[in-house]
Structure 1
């Protein structure tokens, strides 16, 4: 076990541990519906029976092996058109925490975390609106931490233990993620969003070079150009044409996973 002695330097509520729950996102939503919680109130669990991911996917996690958590924030003046900043905050906190333990950690647009071409964690963010503003945001994340074998056949997942050979303390990892989240949320609240966006772009998976993508017209090669404030991905194809995509409008075509020293049967977890 590594990194069990982390000491926080930013104040946030003590995370609440649940031995088991249907979903950390659903549990926290119900808690917040009853009474408003403090910013960065967090619940985490060793097992959830109905975890959810992007695109309506369900997610697999062996009990006690991974980090499954959700936290809530109440942005004070964030318009709905700028909600992608919340994805940037979550992705940066995850990327920078996990980069302490392994090289080649990147953010795959919009907020997955990759090690090389393998998925290390995923996040589902659910926002509530009041008028044109985000009144509440709940982020649920699953980090493949210590699991080594998975029953499903997802194509490209990986766990931190598979990368490094070490076993990690879920709560310690969570505290580090929350501390970085608190830092970046503070930048949002003080309108220092340029720092967020610049750092996010620096950390992107496939930010350099030509790579294969797929949209409704088929596969194509393109290079990364930009991320718009709305979160739209901007690519330039081989013919010099600019292509812009919202989430779910384009796919990354991934290479076959390299299995040397790694377990083939793995899958990413997310609430």
Structure 2
């Protein structure tokens, strides 16, 4: 039995602008224990990828960040951390919702075509080694209505129709993330990659994308070792895209 890392120290904040920013401030002043979680019922300025914001009704959802020190992981394999985190969340959500849960590249969790969980990973690198990673997670749990302009949010309440205990769910989610982190630490990269592709949203399906500013119909064929999304159209033209080069339509 492995010692639990993620969730071994849980710090509860009544309110904060952003749990990621709070964790980063902690790192600026000292070195918190690995796996330290900062969780709040009211995150007022939650962030997503790039400039995206995250809507969360106070007391209704899981909003937290945690700190890892993955110094064992070569920097050129940092996408393995994304896979590990996405799978840890996906494993957990599938315990609650058994139908149509997928990972939308790089690490959002989808129910059908709607987003139930978002993740923001902020890495610090010194030379060729990781210094730390701050992982922020926002999961829609008991919120029934969404008022922001986010295009496709959904919650467990919307899907299951029942309210969940945030306390119980958080403990289960920490354990699920921890299991996948141990796989990463043990070097089980091939399993993580295979599981990630098996859970990938739109994998192998023809879909519409904006690629380098041009609308294309293409099929996702995989993800590179560096985390680039691999696509190919029916004429055999292929692309390897980072976040700024492709948009799902």
TM-score band w.r.t. shorter chain: over 0.9
* 3-state secondary structure, aligned to 1:86: helix
Query: What does the per-residue CA deviation read over 1:88-128, in whole Å, with 9 as the maximum and x for residues that have no partner?
Result: 11110111100111111100000000000001111110001
Q: Is the 8 A contact 1:9 1:179 kept in 2?
A: no
Task: Give distance in 2, aligned partners of 1:169 and 1:221.
Answer: 42
Q: How does 1:99-178 map to 2 (within 5 A)?
A: 99-102=94-97, 103-178=99-174
* 3-state secondary structure, aligned to 1:56: coil
Q: Is the 8 A contact 1:76 1:189 kept in 2?
A: no
Residues 154 and 169 of structure 1: CA distance in aligned 2, closer, same or farther (over 3 Å): same
- Aligned partner of 2:86 in structure 1 is 91
Residues 203 and 126 of structure 1: CA distance in aligned 2, closer, same or farther (over 3 Å): same
Q: Alpha-carbon deviation of 1:9?
A: 8.1
Aligned residue pairs total: 246
Out of 36, 54, 65, the position equivalent to 2:60 is 65
TM-score (norm 1): 0.87
Q: Alpha-carbon deviation of 1:187?
A: 1.7
* 3-state secondary structure, aligned to 2:200: coil
Out of 4, 9, 19, the position equivalent to 1:11 is 4
Q: Is the 8 A contact 1:223 1:236 kept in 2?
A: yes
Q: Is the 8 A contact 1:91 1:112 kept in 2?
A: yes
Query: What does the per-residue CA deviation read over 1:11-40, in whole Å, with 9 as the maximum and x for residues that have no partner?
Result: 231422111111101111112222212221
Out of 58, 74, 99, the position equivalent to 1:79 is 74
Show structure 2 runs of 5+ residues with no match: none
Q: Alpha-carbon deviation of 1:251?
A: 0.8
* 3-state secondary structure, aligned to 2:157: helix
- Aligned partner of 2:198 in structure 1 is 202
Q: Is the 8 A contact 1:208 1:223 kept in 2?
A: yes
Q: Alpha-carbon deviation of 1:45?
A: 0.5
Q: Is the 8 A contact 1:80 1:133 kept in 2?
A: yes
Aligned Cα RMSD in Å? 1.5
Residues 29 and 217 of structure 1: CA distance in aligned 2, closer, same or farther (over 3 Å): closer
User: Runs of 4 or more off by more than 6 Å in structure 1?
Assistant: none
Task: Give distance in 2, aligned partners of 1:45 and 1:10.
Answer: 25
